[in-house]
Amino acid sequence: MSTLKEQLEHFPYRIILGSASPRRQELLKSLGFEFRVSPVKADEDSWPRDLKAEEIPLWLAELKSNSYKEDLEEDEVLITSDTIVWCDDQVFNKPANFAEGKKMLEALSGKTHQVYTAVCLRSARKHVVFYDVANVTFKNLKGEEIEYYLTHFNPYDKAGGYGVQDWIGFTGIKKIEGSFYTVVGLPVRHLYEELLKF
């Protein structure tokens, strides 16, 4: 019976991470798998508007996978992922500007919201799609805290207009129920298990 070290070192697939996110790259590297990065371009605003909650990132993770331009070899597996913030039956994607970011953070202030991250694993022969969810509770954010954060940390590449791993996470988040890494953007425990099964 092979050891875990052997399983990781001799993983039967060459992993391709279809994401430019340095956070996802860092998390996947920390799992112990070798991989190469090949970012996928897809229209993240194209999801059908009747989708709700986890249905949105599941659809987008598959869209990103299907947008990969190259044919996958027999020994390759592509990982694509998407994260959304869901609050009061509304999706909060990446804010386009300061005003949008301010509006988002004001809406999240003092409330509990959900962060859904979905992942698609695809090879030449099969694919698997799964998601994880975490509940995040913000304290009541002061106006000057929101403005300071948006001005100095430019979180315009992050769902909901914030990064749990930076200043607003340190000072504004009261509680997280679920995986911290799902909020960062990759449900690493779930991904690890799915890769070993794949």
pLDDT per residue as tens digits for the range 73-122: 999 999 999 999 999 999 998 899 999 999 999 999 999 999 999 999 99
Can you tell me the distance from the alpha carbon of 78 to that of 125, in angstroms, rounded to the nearest whole number?
12
Residue 169: both structure tokens together:
């996470």
Q: Which residue has better confidence, 6 or 124? A: 124
Q: What is the pTM of this model?
A: 0.93
The confidence score (pLDDT) of residue 120 equals 98
Helix (H, G, I), strand (E, B), or coil: what is residue 176? strand
| pLDDT of 1 strictly over 60 | no
Can you tell me the distance from the alpha carbon of 164 to that of 181, in angstroms, rounded to the nearest whole number?
9
Interval 44-57 mean pLDDT: 93
Can you tell me the distance from the alpha carbon of 6 to that of 176, in angstroms, rounded to the nearest whole number?
34
Q: Which of 75, 82, 89, 132 is catalytic?
A: 82
| pLDDT of 39 strictly over 70 | yes
Question: Average pLDDT, whole number, for the chain?
Answer: 93
Domains and CATH numbers, the chain: 4-197 (3.90.950.10)
**Model confidence pLDDT, tens digit, residues 139-162:** 999 999 999 999 999 999 899 999
The confidence score (pLDDT) of residue 45 equals 86
Can you tell me the distance from the alpha carbon of 172 to that of 139, in angstroms, rounded to the nearest whole number?
6
71 is catalytic: no
**Model confidence pLDDT, tens digit, residues 2-22:** 576 666 667 888 999 999 988
The confidence score (pLDDT) of residue 32 equals 84
The confidence score (pLDDT) of residue 178 equals 97
Q: In this structure, what is the dihedral angle of CA atoms 57, 151, 25, 49, given to the nearest 10 degrees? A: 10
Interval 163-173 mean pLDDT: 95
Residue (of 57, 25, 28, 54) closest to 39 by Cα position: 25
The confidence score (pLDDT) of residue 2 equals 59
Report CA torsion sign: 43, 60, 191, 121. negative
Helix axes 22-31, 188-197, angle to 10 degrees: 60
